[in-house]
């Protein structure tokens, strides 16, 4: 839906309408779940490719299925490029703005761009959340050249290997290295994203400038005990895998102190019958902190605690480190541009860290990064109640456009 009125307010309305259209692309009826590589993600990517084409961009998919649009200035091939974007995949039962807002605001800024001394590329990354394979940032890690090829063998809950999912999605597992973006012409990467927290609402501000992105560890822990009859095995003789997992879950919560957050979001029990003592319990552990040493110390403590719990209960335990991403600082030079643009747009400047992970953390391997947070209602995210206002989206479009203007001078 190309818009002739390119005012931030008009484009903000288009962004919200497009977010609604993308939200209809779901794997599950009645709620928004769009993991890596199902037809729902293909449909969402096709919509974005169409809008990119309408905006005068050359649009394509890369080897892992990211959608990439490139806008060239009227004068032809530019010597440098600014990267914008965010992700198009979602968590389960997700909100419609986490990721998608950044792609759509970037697209809106291109729609109002008339001239610039550089090109602009907009990325809609195919997998940032890592819901299907447990590893976050599949899309941006391919672009940044940090993709871990060992992950190609990981299997999803249905036993589908990642390499097969990529091929079925139309990508090419053998061409992932070639999809790495050169860094020579890059001005940097700027990502617009909902805050997913309460600070901007508390400050009564539409946008904020991000200082850094917390590091995160993802692990899978499996306790293995002995299945048995729920009615006949005496409590003292049990080797119950789920009770051990429950002990670790409360230990994870107890370890989250001094700015550290830790979460168990997944728990699978086998064989999974009410009258069978659990033989195996597999849980995810997610640990975050802005300070890498604090995060790594907490992971080491929890790993030791899992071993002690298993030992005290006569069980086996396996702790598999799935992924570790260090904390990343945003580029001071790009932050200065964002802060000036926020001030020029008439908003008070506030700086805030990101507890959530973002593709920008991975894109920092290519060069300078910066992020603009947009207020979201109640700070709610990873939840269908996720919401933004058209007014705040208009400010985000205005500020991001001003950043492009400032970088062009
Ligand atoms: O988990 C995160 O921080 C992000 O939503 N991927
Ligand atoms: Mn998310
Ligand atoms: Mn996100």
Residues 124-159 pLDDT 10s: 999 999 999 999 999 999 999 999 999 999 999 999
Which residue has the CA at smallest separation from atom 4 of ligand 1? 357
Chain centre to alpha carbon of residue 23:
16
CA–CA distance from 35 to each of 87, 170, 211, 304 (Å)? 11, 15, 28, 32
pLDDT at 4 > cutoff 80:
no
pLDDT at 390 over 80: yes
For the four alpha carbons of 178, 102, 324 and 41, in that order, the dihedral sign comes to negative
Dist. CA 212–CA 360, nearest whole Å:
10
* Spacing, Cα 230 to ligand 1 middle (Å): 38
**In the CATH hierarchy, which fold is given to the domain comprising 8-213+328-408?**
Aminopeptidase (3.40.630)
Distance CA 70, CA 81 (A): 9
Strands 261-263 and 276-277: unpaired
* pLDDT range class, residue 77, cuts 50, 70, 90: confident
**166-186 residues labelled b (16+ CB within 10 A) or e (exposed):** beebebbbeebeebbbeeeeb
Q: Which ligand is nearest to the CA of 194?
A: 3
Q: Cβ(399) to ligand 1 under 6 A?
A: no
Q: Enter the DSSP assignment of 24.
A: T
Q: Is the CB of 128 under 6 A from ligand 1?
A: yes
User: What band does 203 get if pLDDT is binned at 50, 70 and 90?
Assistant: very high
CB 341 within 8 A of CB 403: yes
CB of 213 closer than 6 angstroms to any ligand 1 atom = no
- pLDDT at res. 1: 46
Cis, peptide link before residue 165, omega less than 30° from 0: no
For residue 267, report the distance from its CA to the centre of ligand 1, in Å: 18
Percent of all residues in the chain with a pLDDT value above 90, rounded to a whole number = 97
The yes-or-no verdict on residue 188 having pLDDT over 80 is yes
Please indicate whether residue 197, judged by its CB atom, sits closer than 6 Å to ligand 1: no
- Is pLDDT above 60 for 3? no
Which atom of ligand 1 lies nearest, measured to the CA of 137? 6
Select from 193, 261, 361, 382 the residue to mutate for testing ligand 1; criterion: most ligand atoms less than 8 Å from CB: 382
The DSSP secondary structure of 274-300, one letter per residue, reads TTEE-SEEEEEEEEEESSHHHHHHHHH
Residue 63 Cα to ligand 2 middle (Å): 23
Q: How many whole angstroms separate alpha carbon 206 and alpha carbon 357?
A: 21
CA 54 to centroid of ligand 2, rounded, Å: 28
- What does the pLDDT average to over 316-322? 97
Among the bound ligands, name the one nearest to the CA of residue 91: 2
Which residues of the chain form CATH 3.30.70.360? 215-325
Res 75: pLDDT: 81
Ligand 1 pocket, 339 CB below 6 A? no
357 in contact with ligand 1, CB cutoff 6 A: yes
287: which strand partners? 217, 262
pTM: 0.93
Distance 129 CA to ligand 3 centre (A): 7
CA of 215 to the centre of ligand 3 (A): 14
Mean pLDDT in the chain? Answer: 97
Distance CA 408, CA 249 (A): 51
pLDDT, mean of residues 255-270: 96
Ligand 1, residue 286: give the atom nearest the CA: 1
Q: Which ligand is nearest to the CA of 87?
A: 3
Distance CA 244, CA 285 (A): 14
Domain with CATH 3.40.630.10 in the chain: 8-213+328-408
Counting other chains too, the contacts that 229-238 makes at CB distance below 8 Å and 24 or more residues apart are 229/275, 229/276, 229/277, 230/274, 230/275, 230/276, 230/277, 231/275, 233/277, 238/277
**Does residue 309 register a pLDDT over 80?**
yes
User: Ligand 1 centre and the CA of 128: distance in Å?
Assistant: 7
CATH 3.10.180.10 assigned to domain 215-325? The reply is: no
Q: Is the pLDDT of residue 101 over 90?
A: yes
What is the model's pLDDT at position 336? 98
Q: Is the pLDDT of residue 244 over 70?
A: yes
Inter-residue contact 409 to 341 (CB < 8 Å): no
Average pLDDT of the segment spanning 249-254 = 98
């Amino acid at each position: 839906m190309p818009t002739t009125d390119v005012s931030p307010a008009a484009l903000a309305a288009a962004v919200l309408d497009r977010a609604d259209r993308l939200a209809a692309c779901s794997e599950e009826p009645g709620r928004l779940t769009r993991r890596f590589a199902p037809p729902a993600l293909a449909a969402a990517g096709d919509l974005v490719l169409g809008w990119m084409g309408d905006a005068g961009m050359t649009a394509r998919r890369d080897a892992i299925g990211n959608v990439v649009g490139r806008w060239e200035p009227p004068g032809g091939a530019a010597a440098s490029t600014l990267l914008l974007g965010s992700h198009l995949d979602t968590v389960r039962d997700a909100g419609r703005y986490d990721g998608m807002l950044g792609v759509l605001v970037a697209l809106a800024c291109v729609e109002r761009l008339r001239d610039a001394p550089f090109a602009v590329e907009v990325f809609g990354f195919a997998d940032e959340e890592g819901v299907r394979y447990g590893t976050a940032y599949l899309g941006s890690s391919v672009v940044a050249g940090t993709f871990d090829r060992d992950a190609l063998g990981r299997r999803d809950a249905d036993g589908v290997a990642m390499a097969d999912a990529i091929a079925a999605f139309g990508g090419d597992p053998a061409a992932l290295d070639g999809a790495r973006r050169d860094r020579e012409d890059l001005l940097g990467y700027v990502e617009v994203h909902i805050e997913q927290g309460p600070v901007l609402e508390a400050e009564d501000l539409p946008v904020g400038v991000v200082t850094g992105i917390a590091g995160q560890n993802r692990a899978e822990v499996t306790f293995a005990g002995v299945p048995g009859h729920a009615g006949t095995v005496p409590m003292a003789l049990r080797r119950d895998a789920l009770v051990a997992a429950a002990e670790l879950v409360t230990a994870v919560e107890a370890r989250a102190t001094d700015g550290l957050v830790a979460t168990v979001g997944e728990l699978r029990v086998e064989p999974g019958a009410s009258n069978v003592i659990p033989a195996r319990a597999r849980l995810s552990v997610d640990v975050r902190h802005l300070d890498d040493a604090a995060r790594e110390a907490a992971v080491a403590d929890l790993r030791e605690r899992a071993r002690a719990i298993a030992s005290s209960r006569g069980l086996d335990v396996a702790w598999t480190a799935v992924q570790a991403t260090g904390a990343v600082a945003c580029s001071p030079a790009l932050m200065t541009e964002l802060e000036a643009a926020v001030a020029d747009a008439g908003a008070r400047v506030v700086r805030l860290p990101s507890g959530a992970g973002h593709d920008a953390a991975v894109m920092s391997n290519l060069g300078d990064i910066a992020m603009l947070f947009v207020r979201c209602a109640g700070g709610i995210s990873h939840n269908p109640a996720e919401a933004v206002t058209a007014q705040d989206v208009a400010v985000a479009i205005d500020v991001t456009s001003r950043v492009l203007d400032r970088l062009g001078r």
